[in-house]
Structure 1
Amino acid sequence: MSSISLAILTLAHQASHAQAAQETTATPQQAPAVPQDAQATVPATPQQTPAAPQDATAAAPAAQDSAGASGAGAQGGGQTGAQAATSNAVQNEIQQVVVTGVATGGVRKLDSAFSITTASEEQLKQASPSSTADILKLVPGVYAEATGGQSGANIEVRGFPSGSDSPFVSVQLMGNPIYPVPTLSFFEGSSAFRLDDTVERVEVLRGGPSTIFSSGQPGATMNFILKKGTDTPEGSIRFSTGTGELRRVDVYYGGKIADNWYGTIGGFYRNTNGVRDAGFPADKGGQITATLTRKLDQGEVTFYARRTDDKNAFYTGVPLISSNEGRTISEFPGFDPLTGTLMSGEMRRFTVEAGPGRTLNYDLGDGRGLKSTVFGIDFAQTISGWNVSNKFNYFDGDLNTVAMFTGNNPLSMSAYNANALATYGAGATRATARYLDGTPVAADQQVVQAGLWAVEKQLQSATDEIRVSREWMKDNTVTIGGYFANYSSDDVWYLGNSHLMTAVPNARLIDVRLDNGVIVSNQGKEGPVNYAPVATYDGSNTALFIANEWKVNDRIKVDGGVRRERQKLDATVSNLTTIDADNNPLTVYNNNTSTPTGSNTALHRTDSATSFTVGGNFKLARDASIFARANKGHTFVAFDDLRNAGTQAKVDDRSILPTPSIKQFEVGFKTATPLYSAYINYFHTEFDGIAFQQILADGTILNRVSGSKGNGVEFELGLRPIRDLTLTLTGDWQDSEYKDNPDTAGKRVQRQPKLQYRFTPSYRIPIGDNELKLYGTFTYIGDRWADQLNQQYLPSYKTYDLGAVFRIGEKIEFRVSGNNLSNELGLTEGNSRLTTGGTGPINARPLFGRTWEASVMYRF
């Protein structure tokens, strides 16, 4: 531990003893608390909070490592190692300092006037997330549809209306957005981040003061904080295996380099076929991350860099049977919805006919991957009484999408042939369907149509946030800052490209010909590229903000702030026409191919908006408080909104493209003791002018504008009734509905359950100097609607997860976990290419089936 960290802990210890002498609510087991005015002790190093031990809990309700009993700390020197860890875990929760959404320095989580969930490295491992987005299952008020794989999640935030991707979730690294726009078509923020052993913890802020800081996200902000080197060198190597022939290695090392210089380096390499085996690796690639920290007089500066090269298969819907108006979902004959995928080696390498004589080759194995470089600087120092902070981040990445997107619902081969004859059969009497090897396809064979899409997306951004803070009068600290962002996206799209295939796992492609010479499908291809824009986008944001924190007395603390932001967007989008790609009208599969004309449309948009926040915290006791907060935030239109508008006149029309505004109000209660923990809050949200987009199977883009309103309660509860046993319950209940648009007013906000919760027991078994820990999670997700019109019903579902970790001393760790052990058939998404539901055969995206993972780690 550095000398600065020791000084911080010493000051905190002395302050807490002084407070404990006056507050009778303190217990012998409670650790010294970081003072409510935490920035007084850590003014220049907002990331330099005391690090929790590897097996310690940052927040009991979020995970399972805060096991302990009332009185556990009273055992004195007779504690075993496991008992000491239990006591430390409780102490760490009570002392937990958060830095996300704080104007300067850090604040004790129990004293924060906003809703925030934290998870340590150990908690993240116990959650066994399938992707970065899947981490959000630890966070009440957030529902992440992570069934697409490593990338391309849909993430919904407590009543915030969104149709897909994650427009209301920003992903940060060391307090700065990785890419300043949270979502674009075929991009959402979690896709730009991969989790590994270089991450110390994550903090997820919901609403609160985030409307005025950083990128001004009014929804949820995931802030990943990297490990930093310390005076004590430490390292680890971890080998993992599991479902889909997983092979993964994680490495990490950190320590002191020279006087006042510290460094870390680590990363991973992984190869797996995935739970849905397409016949080729679903995930293949790796990552390396390094940090370099220089301790300064009353501060520090950290440089960090990350290089990621990862290929990830993207999973969309599979065939299912819907009955009882969508209330009952069952397996489609011959297709296991828990492990099956339509993708296969036969279609892995496919072609796109972009125009006469122009054929492009793509590989489904590339999926929705990430090939990126991130570089950042995190500086904080106290200079002559001024706290100065600057966070800079540069991102350059390719986030291409080469994936299958399901189209129409399954039907029989004979029905497909009949449709083909009706459409193209002038003078024809017979349709012949054959596999690519020439074998006839049976008339009763169920078939589906799915597009093989290719989207090339090159993103680049540079963001910088500077803050200057000073106590301008006693117990009043003012913060003035600015946020600056420049970002771009270069897009080349090929949507449509529909293929005809069997409705079985690892599908076979089908050719169809009519006896009048018409070729309906060739090499499986039965539809043209129907949307092929080429576009270049550039954006810039400039924001100025001011915030003030006032410590009224030892119990009351209030804060407020205002932000003024300006965004400027420029777009150059190709104009499109349709052609016959081979000038042969009988090859109907490539007629009406979308292609650029060679001319372009230039589009521009400038917006300004003001956001504010005001909140306060009242301490009921040393480790219990209530808070209240109100804020008003906004989101701006994005690149895709300009392209969809199509003309400058529509871009300028605020009734078509409004600047959405969001109002939020919340009140909450927080407490933590050795026996129990509770974080409970009520929230109210109101939205105006939210734009929605839906891309249909034929390339048609539907756009709607509406608002919404919602109320709900979020809870994170932990109970430690006996030593080494922890029971946690997290979740939320909400009632959110659309307003303003007569087509959707009164309908439930799509994709979000009214009720969701997770119950997690964990039990630690000391075995001499070793220990065994058992844990599990029961998850309930209530019913939802997949669409705004509430016509695609998604039933409720429940899952069971189990895990165990066995530690031999302090060096060796064995871990095993299993998810969805009951093989629950739960749907996370309906057919997003259709506007209504129905009964009979459908396409939808279910949960992954039963999976397992095991690892062995050696620390040195």
Structure 2
Amino acid sequence: MPTAAIAKDRDAGTASGAENGAAAAEAADADSAPKVEELFSTGVAKGRDRLDSATSTSSLRASEIEKFGVRSLAEVFRNIPGIRAEAIGEGLGSYTIRGLPLAANGSKWLNFQEDGLPVVEFGDINYLTPDSLLRFDLNLAQIETIRGGSASTFASNSPGGVINLISKTGDVEGGTIQATTGLDYGESRLDFAYGAKLSDTVRFHIGGFYREGEGPRDQGFTAYRGGQIKFNITKDLPTGYIRLYGKYLNDQTPLYQGVPLAVSGSNDDPRYTNVPGFDASRDVIQSRNLGNYVIPNGENEPTRFDARQGINPTVKSIGLEAQFDVADWTITERFRFSDISGSVQLVLPLRIAPAATILGVLNAPGGSLRYVNGDRTGQVVPNAATATLNGNGILVSGMLYSPQMKNMDNVTNDLRASRVWKAGAGDLTTTFGIYASRQSVFNDFLGSNIVTDVRSGGNTALVDVIDAGGVAQTQGGFFNFNGSVAASFDVDYQVLAPYASVNYKVGKFSFGGSIRFDRGNVEGQAFGYTIGRQNFPTQSVDVNRDGVISVAETRTAQFDFNAPSLVDYNYDYTSYSASVNYRVSDAFAAFARYSRGGRAAADRILVTPTIDPVTGQLAGGEDGFDVVTQTEVGLKFRKSNVTLNLTGFLADTSEVNRQVTSNAAGETVAFLIERDYRAYGLEFEGAVTFGGFNLTAGATYTKAEITDDVTQPQFIGNTPRRQPDLIFQATPQYQTDLFTAGVNIVGHTDSFAQDANQLKLPGFAIVSPFLQVRAAEGVSVMVNVNNVFDTLGIVEISQGALPANGVVTARTINPRTVSAAVRVSF
């Protein structure tokens, strides 16, 4: 759970806050190392004591995270106050903060960083969200988070806040090997880490992990396979350091999309249960029977893909970080180049309904089914038997998406200079910096409409739809090939952002101000579908090359590379922040802050009316970015064994985005939104320690509202979808020399499934106990139970109202999983 970051102001010439924060975390996590003060530096000019800083910040040490029994980064981030993390799987999660809207997946308003630089420039790139490129392992020293405040001006595209994963750097010598296995689910994992000094001034750290297994859900195949390795080497200088680091990530993980869930009752009081023969938290649509398939690729050539790959990113990055003094100025330089590519395979249900409904939608009313694969291959299901198929009579008409990330490279450089001046009775800290980045978005979006049954145990299979006249409307379970969603983007985003800040500390007061000017240049081309276009052109293509054109093959989309939609526009915006902090006493402080931050639009506005396809320029009235203004007022208390932080906030947001939801017929659709929002609330974070007992807790109360809506004015005054009034976290634990035992609790209250504010999503709490036993010196055994009560936690429902057929499309958290680990430190 978040802990108070304790730091003292540093004179110019000492190591950075991030450097000292990592060292502190490493030392605190070492068995015999002394406790070291922790500096907080993320999203601020210089590391300083939290009680002297007008910011809302939290830190999570790696030694605390490992107790939670988390299976993904989303499950880590949900332990941070103010953060709404929809923990479903490893990657492509949905994140927001303090009531800012969640129109799409990813982290539009939050900047995910690794060692002080963003992982990708935009947190909501289609199918390349930053959590897909990050992993929690033994390389991690701690996670620092800043919410609101100066995050707007010390990082681009971060008006909501920054989450920064800080790596170990070899400050504490020694190594660790850890073996972890699932006791009631299929996964085995091996982690290692080692750090040492090569000389008095040179140190290094290396670590990584590898894992394999089916995972916590019944997929019927090895869905997890891969890992990462990270390395850094640091040369300490008389007034700073220089560090070279690298990372290689190649990790295949499943992507858990919507599944059928039965619902009864009313919109205000719905009752959700599993459909017969299918467990919504354990079973999947994307099973072992959905393997190799052939569709046209981004060059219109029939190509074989493997649906079992799930999310499979590859990241090869190299970076340089340095800090040193020049004429009383502290210079900090950070640079990283990341070669990013990969692919995603997922089944997005377009409609989950009784078989008769699906047959009617797919041109086969009164028709029959024929199994394509699985243990029923070739079996015919006559029309009279479709209503009782698998005991539930349900079919899925889904989109088999295959985004191919050809080149998603990111190169980033951040150079800043800081100096502390004596000014009258106080100290004036000035910082000047310049940030530059290039984000490539070169990908193909391929997607075909498929039909499957609904069955448990990883046995869901493709079925062919045959009309009443005996004509197959599908081929191998495919209704079309790339259908109406094929798209290809080849666009570069270049960002240049100078920034500056001042902080004047005199007596008990600190006055701060910062400003950042972001200018972006976007160039490239886009091909394919356009939101709002009707009758997407398709052709007859012999996809399987059997010499016969089937009905399904007449619905094949082909890219027309002679008709690109141009992308060629610029944008610029100014972010600023002003604050005052009053240190009432050694233990108590109060602050106030007002901020304005921007967030540039990325690929989600491509092939939409926001961009003129002929000129590539932004359409009339569009400016290519969204704005968040925030007011914060906070109180902080820290004394011996008690830490309490309380922050009130008010945020106004404007947004243009692409949102996926369901229409009145229950079909999944995408449309453009242009809205304004307001959110206000209260955020609490605290920690109490008495002897061996420790309690950390957090809670955020939020009231959010749609204040304006250009495209759907009927939603004005409604609460944004999936926005609960209260989110909460708590971790009580008891520690002795022999063991540590405790429980991690996270949860939230009810929310609305969609912006129409009809169907409710029930709130829930996830309880996860843990036990660590120090069996011998350097040897520990850990047992973690995630979701011990096997709670059915629903994080998303596509439908906005109770459907007539009593079945919704839902995404759920993982079921109960129990893991055991043995760690050896040397």
Tell me, yes or no, whether TM beats 0.5. Answer: yes
User: Which residue of structure 1 lines up, in the alignment, with residue 41 of structure 2?
Assistant: 99
User: Which residue of structure 2 lines up, in the alignment, with residue 578 of structure 1?
Assistant: 538
Match of 2:555 among 582, 592, 605: 592
Distance 1:652 1:289 in 2: 41
**Number of equivalenced pairs:** 782
Distance 1:279 1:503 in 2: 12
Assess, with a 3 A threshold, how the Cα gap between structure 1 residues 582 and 698 changes in structure 2: closer, same or farther: farther
Assess, with a 3 A threshold, how the Cα gap between structure 1 residues 137 and 431 changes in structure 2: closer, same or farther: closer
Distance 1:348 1:432 in 2: 20
User: Which residue of structure 1 lines up, in the alignment, with residue 488 of structure 2?
Assistant: 534
**1:665-708 CA distance string (max 9 Å, x none):** 11111222234221111111011244343277978530010010
Q: Is the 8 A contact 2:257 2:811 kept in 1?
A: yes
DSSP-derived class of the 1:790 partner: coil
Assess, with a 3 A threshold, how the Cα gap between structure 1 residues 675 and 480 changes in structure 2: closer, same or farther: closer
DSSP-derived class of the 1:407 partner: strand
Assess, with a 3 A threshold, how the Cα gap between structure 1 residues 373 and 419 changes in structure 2: closer, same or farther: closer
DSSP-derived class of the 1:465 partner: strand
After superposition, residues 336-485 of structure 1 pair within 5 angstroms as 336-353=279-296, 358-412=301-355, 414-417=356-359, 420=362, 423=363, 431-434=368-371, 436=373, 437-441=377-381, 442-443=385-386, 444-445=388-389, 446=393, 447-457=395-405, 458-474=407-423, 475-485=427-437
* Deviation (angstroms), 1:560: 0.7
| Matched residue type, 1:595 | Q
| Matched residue type, 1:616 | V
Assess, with a 3 A threshold, how the Cα gap between structure 1 residues 571 and 792 changes in structure 2: closer, same or farther: farther
Match of 2:118 among 177, 194, 197: 177
Distance 2:131 2:422 in 1: 41
Match of 2:704 among 724, 727, 736: 736
Q: Is the 8 A contact 2:290 2:308 kept in 1?
A: no
* Structure 2 residue 633 is matched with structure 1 residue 640: no
Assess, with a 3 A threshold, how the Cα gap between structure 1 residues 330 and 301 changes in structure 2: closer, same or farther: same
DSSP-derived class of the 2:606 partner: helix
Q: Is the 8 A contact 1:410 1:503 kept in 2?
A: no
RMSD, aligned CA: 2.7
Q: Which moved more, 1:329-338 or 1:567-576?
A: 567-576
Assess, with a 3 A threshold, how the Cα gap between structure 1 residues 631 and 461 changes in structure 2: closer, same or farther: same
Q: Is the 8 A contact 1:813 1:858 kept in 2?
A: yes
* Structure 2 residue 175 is matched with structure 1 residue 211: no
After superposition, residues 40-59 of structure 1 pair within 5 angstroms as 40=12, 42=14, 46-49=18-21, 51-52=23-24, 56=28
* Structure 2 residue 758 is matched with structure 1 residue 758: no
DSSP-derived class of the 1:195 partner: coil
Q: Which moved more, 1:330-339 or 1:42-51?
A: 42-51
**1:258-286 CA distance string (max 9 Å, x none):** 24111111110011211112111121101
Assess, with a 3 A threshold, how the Cα gap between structure 1 residues 463 and 416 changes in structure 2: closer, same or farther: closer
User: Which residue of structure 1 lines up, in the alignment, with residue 532 of structure 2?
Assistant: none
* Deviation (angstroms), 1:495: 1.9
* Deviation (angstroms), 1:144: 0.8
* Deviation (angstroms), 1:476: 0.7
Distance 2:364 2:606 in 1: 37
Distance 1:357 1:486 in 2: 29
Distance 1:791 1:657 in 2: 33
Distance 1:783 1:462 in 2: 41
Distance 2:358 2:155 in 1: 53
Distance 1:693 1:53 in 2: 40
DSSP-derived class of the 1:492 partner: strand
Q: Is the 8 A contact 1:500 1:521 kept in 2?
A: no
* Deviation (angstroms), 1:220: 2.4
* Deviation (angstroms), 1:380: 0.8
Q: Is the 8 A contact 1:271 1:283 kept in 2?
A: yes
Match of 1:241 among 181, 186, 189: 181
Distance 1:432 1:119 in 2: 53
Q: TM-score, normalised by structure 1?
A: 0.86
Assess, with a 3 A threshold, how the Cα gap between structure 1 residues 127 and 357 changes in structure 2: closer, same or farther: closer
Q: Is the 8 A contact 1:155 1:164 kept in 2?
A: no
| Matched residue type, 1:47 | E
User: Which residue of structure 2 lines up, in the alignment, with residue 17 of structure 1?
Assistant: none
Distance 2:681 2:233 in 1: 43
Distance 1:695 1:538 in 2: 29
Q: Is the 8 A contact 1:126 1:803 kept in 2?
A: yes
**1:625-671 CA distance string (max 9 Å, x none):** 11211100111121231332362468522535653111001111122
Q: Which moved more, 1:239-248 or 1:493-502?
A: 493-502
Identity %: 24
* Structure 2 residue 823 is matched with structure 1 residue 854: no
Distance 1:432 1:34 in 2: 67
Assess, with a 3 A threshold, how the Cα gap between structure 1 residues 774 and 153 changes in structure 2: closer, same or farther: same
User: Which residue of structure 2 lines up, in the alignment, with residue 618 of structure 1?
Assistant: 582
Q: Which moved more, 1:434-443 or 1:477-486?
A: 434-443
User: Which residue of structure 1 lines up, in the alignment, with residue 454 of structure 2?
Assistant: 502
Q: Which runs of 5+ in 1 are unaligned?
A: 1-30, 58-64, 66-80
Match of 1:709 among 647, 659, 678: 678
| Matched residue type, 2:677 | S
After superposition, residues 265-284 of structure 1 pair within 5 angstroms as 265-284=206-225
Match of 1:313 among 236, 246, 254: 254
Q: Which moved more, 1:469-478 or 1:180-189?
A: 469-478
Q: Is the 8 A contact 2:113 2:164 kept in 1?
A: yes
**1:394-427 CA distance string (max 9 Å, x none):** 1111142111111202313x4444555xx357xx
Distance 2:762 2:108 in 1: 24
User: Which residue of structure 1 lines up, in the alignment, with residue 473 of structure 2?
Assistant: 520
* Deviation (angstroms), 1:520: 1.6
DSSP-derived class of the 2:402 partner: strand
| Matched residue type, 2:43 | G
DSSP-derived class of the 1:98 partner: coil
* Deviation (angstroms), 1:227: 0.6
* Deviation (angstroms), 1:41: 7.3
Match of 1:773 among 740, 765, 768: 740
DSSP-derived class of the 1:735 partner: strand
Distance 2:245 2:802 in 1: 48
**1:498-556 CA distance string (max 9 Å, x none):** 22323544212212223535212222223442211122010101111111111111x21
Q: Is the 8 A contact 1:141 1:731 kept in 2?
A: yes
Assess, with a 3 A threshold, how the Cα gap between structure 1 residues 815 and 356 changes in structure 2: closer, same or farther: closer
| Matched residue type, 1:581 | V
Distance 1:755 1:695 in 2: 24
Distance 2:91 2:80 in 1: 19
